[in-house]
Structure 1
Amino acid sequence: MLFSTLKFAIQLFSFICSLFFNIILIYLILTKSPKKMGTYKYLLVYFCCFSMLYSILDIIVGPVIHSHGSSFFMMMKLGILKNHPEVGFLLVSLLCGCFAVSITTISIQFVFRYFAMERKGRISYFRGKYLIIWFLVPLISGTIWILQDWVFLHPNAKMGEYINETVFINYGVNVTDITYCGTFFYPKNDQGVPSLDYFQFFGFLGFCVIMGTTFLIVVIFGIKSYKLVRELPKHGESEYTYKLQSQLFKALVVQAFIPITFLFIPIGLVFIAPLLHFDIEPASFLVTIFFSIYPAVDPLPILLIVAEYREGLSELIYKTIGKRSIQISSYTDPQITSIS
């Protein structure tokens, strides 16, 4: 089918780009980061690693995100796992968990940037043993999401019967040949009348808590950080510090815009539409593509906006194509102190 071919091509391209960009960014972070970045560079490396894991799982699972009637689901064709559907479901759940890890990590970066700019000593909570705790928070968020998948979104007979026709019509497979994470909000009761499944609804609320909390943190600390960046020159900060903080904040804003565009909004719509009886089934293809493209474009803001990484990338390009590397001059503050 045309859809399957196009989807695989996009997912493969995204996988290759994600590995390529993230590996380059990790190299540049470790070799080109200014001293003033402090422990922030470790957060960036951490984020890059999860982006690559996201891409690897995405190409293995080959997910299809679909909304149908009062249900939504992310499905995987079982293929060689036909006799081991639980393994397939685990892979789908892990991919969903990567989504939770990604949005949680973004929110933590906003907290870090705010603490770094406010200069009240709270950035010390991102050093030493505290940094390990911050690294664990996204993992905890992802684990909770995965556990909720197993409790609330596990395949069941009622939903399988409900989505069987649309799966076959749209993707040419029977529901017995796939596994999925999904929910069916309005199954028929004993009288044959569709009624809200409160168990599924409470599960839905659990996912909303994670998405809503991380989104709220991004908005609150984003606004706070923006105000502080504007005030830096008034507080006597050097030109270099101001430029670096501005670049990091701009990169973070763009980096937040990407998951909002590619994950929060489309996934949020897929979650909410079936509950509110909105039919967005024709848009399911776009949601699938957005979900797969995300890890490929996510490292680009940091790579292209932060001057040290952008210049380091230019050097790599010139060296790779065999041209003489151009030394790009940049302003350096003679009195460098860590921003973190």
Structure 2
Amino acid sequence: MTTVAFRNAEHILFVIAMCLNLLALTLIFTKSSKEISQYRKLLVIFLISGIFFSVLHLILSPTCIMRENAFITYGSGWITDMRFIAVYYGVASMSFLILAMHFFYRAVVLGSETYTNVQIGFRRIVEIIVILVIELIIWTVLCAIFLCYKTEYAPTIARLTADLDDFPITNHDGRLLMFLGTIDGKLNLPPFLAIVSMILLCGVSLTVIVWSSIRVMSVLNAAQHRSSTWRKYNIQLFVALCLQFLGPLILLYLPCINFLLLPFVPGNPINAPHWLLSLFYSIYPIVDPVVMIVFIRDYRRGLYNMLRRAVFLPSSDHSVTAISTTATS
């Protein structure tokens, strides 16, 4: 795939992502039932983070290269500063933490004696935002300090990027977020430790997700005395949440971890296409609103009713005209 073709594909995916996220937000604010009134606040936070990620992706137009012992990311968009690319990766990291909060909330709700919604007030929302900002700062600092250009990288960069027509010729220090996994056959320790720290941060969120999932499943299995409607509704929310988890896992974390770790493998034979990771990141913001709309009953029915009214019911102007014509006759 040429650079122009994959940039055009990214722009199309951006438009689709924005439309779907705005549609999902509209449904959340207008079609949420009482049972989901508190949980929807977490859904809104997730969608807003996805919109922010999409906009940042469009502005930066990042290209990610993983070839031999090198990992390189550079921007070709309106902003090309590597510090903004570090922020971009930090925003991507927040999705796992937000999902961990979703899973934990469902576990807390189902773990309560009355199975009622747990209030998410203004103070709790502020606490959530503070935690997300802290993770964003940690990721950004790790990327900006330990994944930065060094003059000793220059010969390897020149050799591995000769075929890329949009690769920056100058100002590598300000534009490239990168590292070499090995130098002269030896492990490049500073970026390796930084990446291990990033993976451990994700591991904390993953631990919360696994624990919460086990808790939710055990409660649902034990609550046989509850009505079938209640069980079906909560199973539906849990399935939707699991699918929301698979989106960033498949499109963000697994590809990114492979791209980050393979350069440390001596003699790494894999040279990934320069458009692959960026294209995955473009698709990711589409997955979450689709899962919400399709698998959560409130929003599925809400969309169906909106479409039904738009397609089958006449507009108010048409109805008024028809009534006036009948009265005149």
Instruction: Provide the TM-score with structure 1 as the length reference.
Output: 0.84
Are 2:242 and 1:253 equivalent residues in the alignment?
yes
Deviation at 1:224, TM superposition (A): 2.4
SS of match in other structure, 1:262? helix
**One of 223, 229, 242 as aligned partner of 2:220:** 229
Is contact 2:139-2:198 (8 Å) kept? yes
Deviation at 1:128, TM superposition (A): 4.8
Are 2:179 and 1:183 equivalent residues in the alignment?
yes
Deviation at 1:172, TM superposition (A): 4.7
Alignment match, 2:233 = 244
Alignment match, 1:99 = 92
CA distance in 1, matches of 2:210, 2:198: 19
**One of 186, 209, 212 as aligned partner of 1:195:** 186
Alignment match, 2:321 = none
Alignment match, 1:289 = 279
Deviation at 1:120, TM superposition (A): 4.9
User: CA separation of 1:40/1:135 partners in 2, compared to 1, >3 Å: closer, same or farther?
Assistant: farther
Q: Specify the code of the residue in structure 2 equivalent to 1:323.
A: F
SS of match in other structure, 2:164? helix
User: CA separation of 1:65/1:76 partners in 2, compared to 1, >3 Å: closer, same or farther?
Assistant: same
**One of 307, 314, 327 as aligned partner of 1:317:** 307
CA distance in 2, matches of 1:116, 1:290: 33
CA distance in 2, matches of 1:57, 1:282: 23
**One of 168, 174, 188 as aligned partner of 2:162:** 168
Encode CA deviations 1:215-249: one digit per residue, 9 max, x unaligned: 232223223222222333x2x32333222211110
Alignment match, 2:50 = 51
Alignment match, 2:327 = none
CA distance in 2, matches of 1:281, 1:156: 22
User: CA separation of 1:293/1:301 partners in 2, compared to 1, >3 Å: closer, same or farther?
Assistant: same
Q: Specify the code of the residue in structure 1 equivalent to 2:139.
A: W
Deviation at 1:121, TM superposition (A): 8.2
CA distance in 1, matches of 2:14, 2:257: 23
User: 5+ residue gaps in structure 2?
Assistant: 315-329
- The root-mean-square deviation of aligned C-alpha atoms, in Å, is 2.3
**One of 212, 218, 230 as aligned partner of 2:203:** 212
CA distance in 2, matches of 1:291, 1:242: 35
Is contact 2:247-2:284 (8 Å) kept? yes
Q: Specify the code of the residue in structure 2 equivalent to 1:288.
A: S
Q: Specify the code of the residue in structure 2 equivalent to 1:156.
A: K
Q: Write out aligned runs for 1:67-106 (5 A).
A: 67-77=66-76, 88-106=81-99
SS of match in other structure, 2:176? strand
Which region of structure 1 is more displaced relative to structure 2, 245-254 or 66-75?
Answer: 66-75
User: CA separation of 1:155/1:317 partners in 2, compared to 1, >3 Å: closer, same or farther?
Assistant: farther
Is contact 1:14-1:55 (8 Å) kept? no
How many pairs were matched up? Answer: 310
CA distance in 1, matches of 2:245, 2:113: 25
SS of match in other structure, 2:187? coil
Which region of structure 1 is more displaced relative to structure 2, 62-71 or 132-141?
Answer: 132-141
Q: Percent identity?
A: 19
CA distance in 2, matches of 1:6, 1:289: 11
CA distance in 1, matches of 2:203, 2:143: 17
Is contact 1:72-1:271 (8 Å) kept? yes
CA distance in 2, matches of 1:110, 1:291: 23
User: CA separation of 1:63/1:238 partners in 2, compared to 1, >3 Å: closer, same or farther?
Assistant: same
User: CA separation of 1:183/1:319 partners in 2, compared to 1, >3 Å: closer, same or farther?
Assistant: farther
CA distance in 2, matches of 1:5, 1:201: 33
Which region of structure 1 is more displaced relative to structure 2, 129-138 or 96-105?
Answer: 129-138
CA distance in 2, matches of 1:137, 1:229: 29
User: CA separation of 1:217/1:5 partners in 2, compared to 1, >3 Å: closer, same or farther?
Assistant: same
User: 5+ residue gaps in structure 1?
Assistant: 188-192, 326-340
Deviation at 1:168, TM superposition (A): 2.8
Q: Specify the code of the residue in structure 2 equivalent to 1:290.
A: F
CA distance in 1, matches of 2:114, 2:145: 41
User: CA separation of 1:197/1:125 partners in 2, compared to 1, >3 Å: closer, same or farther?
Assistant: farther
Is contact 2:38-2:119 (8 Å) kept? no
CA distance in 2, matches of 1:168, 1:298: 37
Which region of structure 1 is more displaced relative to structure 2, 297-306 or 130-139?
Answer: 130-139
Q: Specify the code of the residue in structure 2 equivalent to 1:170.
A: L
Q: Specify the code of the residue in structure 2 equivalent to 1:295.
A: P
